[in-house]
């Protein structure tokens, strides 16, 4: 991992969806290394908890929450709890997604899989952005990063 200036994100409060592994975890680690306070949210709740605990052992301010992007109640609860844990929200990284369907022949992709991908990757991103909007606006400098 590249060196990140310590303190670059000092005090910034960021929610990272899909943060238990892969790019989401890398983003969470970099944000925390740069001094940010992070909530990792993922459907893989146990893995998210383990990764957050490992980062806390390194002195990072990281929490983990369960998140199901297909469930509006889960999204709202996650956003609300992240805001509570962090005392506000300065950033949202919409990284949560289903990634095993790309590159397939359109005729090989089942309609059910297509619907699930749209529910998580598109609708879930919109739901989380909507759920975090007020807290991001209240920070005076809130930002959303959407990954595709």
The dihedral formed by the CA atoms of 52, 56, 59 and 63, expressed in degrees to the nearest 10: 60
- Per-residue pLDDT at 1 exceeds 70: no
Alpha carbon distance 139, 132 (integer Å):
11
What mean pLDDT comes out for the span 120-124?
A: 97
Architecture of domain 13-146: 3-Layer(aba) Sandwich (3.40)
Between CA 15 and CA 4, with CA 56 as vertex, the angle to 5 degrees is 70
Q: Give the start-to-end residue ranges of the domains of the chain.
A: 13-146
Phi, psi of 2 (to 5 degrees): -65, 150
Q: How high is the pLDDT of residue 107? A: 80
Report pLDDT digits (tens) over 65-114: 999 999 999 999 999 999 999 999 999 999 999 987 666 777 888 899 98
Q: What is the value of pTM for the model shown?
A: 0.94
The whole-chain average pLDDT of the chain stands at 94
- Per-residue pLDDT at 127 exceeds 90: yes
């Amino acid at each position: 991992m590249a060196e990140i200036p310590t303190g670059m994100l000092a005090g910034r409060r960021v929610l990272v969806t899909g943060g238990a592994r892969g790019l989401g975890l890398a983003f969470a680690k970099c944000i925390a290394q740069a001094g940010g306070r992070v909530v990792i949210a993922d459907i893989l709740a146990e893995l998210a908890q383990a990764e957050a605990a490992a980062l806390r052992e390194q002195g990072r301010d990281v929490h983990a929450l369960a998140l199901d992007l297909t469930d509006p109640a889960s999204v709202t609860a996650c956003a609300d709890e992240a805001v509570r844990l962090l005392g506000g929200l300065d950033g949202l990284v919409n990284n949560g997604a289903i990634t095993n369907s790309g590159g397939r022949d359109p005729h090989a992709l089942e309609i059910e899989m297509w619907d699930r991908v749209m529910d998580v990757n598109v609708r879930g991103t919109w739901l989380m952005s909507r759920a975090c909007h007020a807290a991001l606006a209240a920070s005076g400098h809130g930002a959303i990063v959407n990954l595709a």
